[in-house]
Structure 1
Amino acid sequence: MQKLTALVLTLLIAGCAFPGVYKINVQQGNIVTDEELTALSEGMSRSQVHSVLGTPLMVNPVDLSREYYVYTFQRSGGDIKEQRVIVYYYNEQFSHYEAQLLEETPAY
């Protein structure tokens, strides 16, 4: 009986401390590449910019002269990598952008 109790307790404790917990990759937002950014030209309308880059992740409701394209990636519970692109408009036409891109996009 003692051997059976010891075996059951060992299995229960081993089950609680299982080291192989699977963690998924988490990817969110808009992936924007250098090629897409070079396709933008000054004077494009919002809809033309959206056809190149997609719909922005965030729009400032107070200041419509900017749109934000943010992409985050976390591999298996590790560090979060982030890229940001801010698109600026002047008189409803594309003016310029600021980009902080990842060296490689780890999309899967």
Structure 2
Amino acid sequence: MQKLTALILTLFLSGCAFPGVYKINVQQGNIVTDDELSQLAEGMSRSQVHAVMGTPLMLNPVDLSREYYVYTFQREGGDITEQRIIVYYEGDQYAHYEAQLLEETPAY
């Protein structure tokens, strides 16, 4: 009876950490390339910036002078890496951007 209990307990606990579980890559947000960033020119309207870079992931309803383009990537359940681009406007025209880019975009 003890051997049967030990066998059942071992099988039960081994199911909690089964090594064959497949974990997928997870990517979310705006994929922005260096080519797209190089197309931005001072004085562009918001709609022109959106045509080049796509719709921003986050908008601040209080301060419309910034738009946020964020991309996150998680490889097989590991650490999450993040790329963040902040586009600044003066009035309704593009002024400049700040970027914290990934060395390589894993989506490609």
Say yes or no: TM over 0.5: yes
Percent identical pairs in the alignment equals 82
Q: Which residue of 2 aligns with 1:68?
A: 68
Q: CA deviation at 1:91?
A: 1.4
Q: CA deviation at 1:14?
A: 4.5
SS of aligned partner of 2:69: strand
Q: Which residue of 2 aligns with 1:26?
A: 26
SS of aligned partner of 1:47: helix
What stretches of structure 1 move > 2 A for 4+ residues in a row? 3-17
Give CA-to-partner distance per residue, 1:49-104, whole Å, 9 cap, x none: 00000000001100000000000000001111101000000110000000111010
User: In 2, distance between residues paired with 1:102 and 1:68?
Assistant: 16
Q: Which residue of 1 aligns with 2:103?
A: 103
Specify the code of the residue in structure 1 equivalent to 2:42. E
Structure 1 91/79 Cα, relative in aligned 2: closer, same or farther at 3 Å?
same
SS of aligned partner of 1:67: strand
Aligned residues: CA RMSD: 2.0
Specify the code of the residue in structure 2 equivalent to 1:21. V
Tell me the TM-score normalised to structure 1 length: 0.86
Q: In structure 1, list runs of 5 or more residues that go unmatched.
A: none
User: In 2, distance between residues paired with 1:38 and 1:93?
Assistant: 16
